[in-house]
Amino acid sequence: MIFKSINPFTQTVIAEHEVLTNTQLNQKLELAESAFKNWRTTSFQERADKMRKLANIFRTKKEELGLLITNEMGKILSEGIGEVEKSAGNCEFYAENAEKMLKDEHYDTPFKSMSVYDPMGAVFAIMPWNYPFWQVLRYAAPAIMAGNVTLLKHAPNVIGCAKAIENAFLEAGFPEGVFQQITIDIPQVESVVASDIVCGITLTGSEMAGSSVAALAGKHIKKSVLELGGSDAFIVLNDANLEKAATVATQSRMLNAGQACICAKRFIVTEKVADEFSALFAQKVNALNQGNPLQNGINMGPLARMDLAEKLSLQLKKSLTQGAKILVGGERDNCNFQPTLIDFVNSNNIAFQEETFGPLATIIRAKDESDAIVIANNHRYGLASAIWTEDRENAYRLARKIEAGNVFVNSLVRSDSRIPFGGIKKSGYGRELSAIGIREFMNMKSIIIE
């Protein structure tokens, strides 16, 4: 079987990648097992030295790697380069902090007692195409700094990125088997999950994929961390700075052509300022230029695949038949989808109920701030959200009421190496990043000495 990498803008095949045979896959698993036995015994200093070299390789090759990202999944070149730089920063963060995060914890007892953190084996990762470097380094840097090894099943359309990451690990001096990308098809996933060397599974992807992987993990009694869909609420209250809110709203919805779990998708605005905000929002969305992601002056590239563009078109059409009104955009040419804004969406509308993975923003009008919170929580997803108000004390009070893994006030929702990241409800479970993230695939072993 062959996976094809297709440039989303030109629709040309840029590479083909052959799927591993079962024999080849077993050899990869055996290599991971052998590598773990040695890697787990290395010092934090040795791991950190290699991780810093990896960061340096990413920075040195950021233009080349950013172009690879653009060609494989379509984001504009500056965003691709920025993603590589952010990945390098995460490597440096864990090189600097992993040892402190995993130090022994001592307890106040009459006898000597402590907890220690032991690496467990190979982390099997199933990663998406929308951030083909950041999503990988977000889990891999902490897992490997902790003494684990990893096997990466990347999305079929970004295998070139997966191979480039593996090559960078080898160039940085990591032993073979510490980081391996495995080009496998879905029927081969269970054999990886079932392998004794695999200690757990981390997946970023759709709700359906997460449900399937969680079932497999449960069947084989393996730890899993899931970061799934999102329909993030962006709440605009009466006292918000509407100009700034509209500017960030545009960025939050249209970044990466709207293809991110943490893109704001439901813009919940109180009635008093809804007309003014929607006008400002429409003006800013209308000013965006969608097109060739390698061309200067382009703000947004194509969607990554034709099926994604077709699905978004269907969601838009149905939303309009259900009472939504289009303010800006709405046209599509193959994978090139115009930045689009619709208003007068309600909780019965498909654009509210489903995750819209692309440049489609929806405005929902709330009676007041209490109604806004009810609307925000009235969803099966709970990844992240934002509140816009000049009253910081009230913002904190409201943030405590929102059902989500992350709440940002007067700011763009984003992931940060220093802060735990993850969701609740159908957005998944577990956390990435920070000290919490590095401990997800560790054995927290208690030792008691009388």
pLDDT tier for residue 333 given thresholds of 50, 70 and 90 = very high
| pLDDT at res. 122 | 98
Closest of 151, 149, 185 to residue 20, by C-alpha: 185
Compute φ and ψ for 266, nearest 5 degrees.
Answer: -115, 110
Average pLDDT of span 294-308:
96
Q: Which two tokens stand for residue 95?
A: 């090189």
Residue type, 350: I
Closest of 138, 186, 133 to residue 162, by C-alpha: 133
How many of the other CB atoms lie within 10 Å of CB of 200? 22
Residue type, 35: A
* 156-185 pLDDT per residue, tens: 999 999 999 999 999 999 999 999 999 999
Can you tell me the distance from the alpha carbon of 285 to that of 147, in angstroms, rounded to the nearest whole number?
46
| pLDDT at res. 191 | 97
Q: What torsion, rounded to 10 degrees, do the Cα atoms 375, 376, 381, 386 define? A: 160
* 257-279 pLDDT per residue, tens: 999 999 999 999 999 999 999 99
53: which residues sit within 8 A by CB, 6+ positions away?
171, 172, 173
Can you tell me the distance from the alpha carbon of 14 to that of 295, in angstroms, rounded to the nearest whole number?
19
Q: Which two tokens stand for residue 203?
A: 């997946």
Residues, the chain, total?
450
Can you tell me the distance from the alpha carbon of 174 to that of 184, in angstroms, rounded to the nearest whole number?
23
pLDDT tier for residue 152 given thresholds of 50, 70 and 90 = very high
Average pLDDT of span 306-311:
97
| pLDDT at res. 93 | 98
Compute φ and ψ for 425, nearest 5 degrees.
Answer: 55, -135
* 186-208 pLDDT per residue, tens: 999 999 999 999 999 999 999 99
Angle separating helix axes 134-145 and 77-101, nearest 10 degrees: 20
List, by residue number, the catalytic residues.
Answer: 227, 261
Residue type, 338: Q
CA distances from 336 to 109, 290, 312, 363 (A): 63, 7, 11, 22
| pLDDT at res. 40 | 98
| pLDDT at res. 422 | 98
Q: Which two tokens stand for residue 330?
A: 């709405």
Average pLDDT of span 335-345:
98
| pLDDT at res. 13 | 97
Q: Which two tokens stand for residue 332?
A: 């599509």
In the block, which residue shows the tokens 């097992």? 33
175: which residues sit within 8 A by CB, 6+ positions away?
35, 38, 39
Whole-number average pLDDT of the chain: 98
* 350-359 pLDDT per residue, tens: 999 999 999 9
| pLDDT at res. 432 | 98
| pLDDT at res. 143 | 98
CA distances from 366 to 220, 237, 324, 363, 375 (A): 46, 9, 15, 10, 8
Asked if 130 and 20 touch (Cβ cutoff 8 Å), the reply is: no
SS (H, E, C) the chain: CEEEEECCCCCCEEEEEECCCHHHHHHHHHHHHHHHHHHCCCCHHHHHHHHHHHHHHHHHCHHHHHHHHHHHHCCCHHHHHHHHHHHHHHHHHHHHHHHHHCCCEECCCCCEEEEEEEECCEEEEECCCCCCCHHHHHHHHHHHHCCCEEEEECCHHHHHHHHHHHHHHHHCCCCCCCEEECCCCHHHHHHHHHCCCEEEEEEECCHHHHHHHHHHHHHCCCEEEEECCCCEEEEECCCCCHHHHHHHHHHHHHHHHHCCCCCEEEEEEEHHHHHHHHHHHHHHHHCCCECCCCCCCCCECCCCCHHHHHHHHHHHHHHHHCCCEEEECCCEECCEECCEEEECCCCCCHHHHCCCCCCEEEEEEECCHHHHHHHHHCCCEECEEEEECCCHHHHHHHHCCCCCCEEEECCCCCCCCCCCECCEECCEECCECHHHHHCCCEEEEEEEEC
Q: Which two tokens stand for residue 56?
A: 């340096």
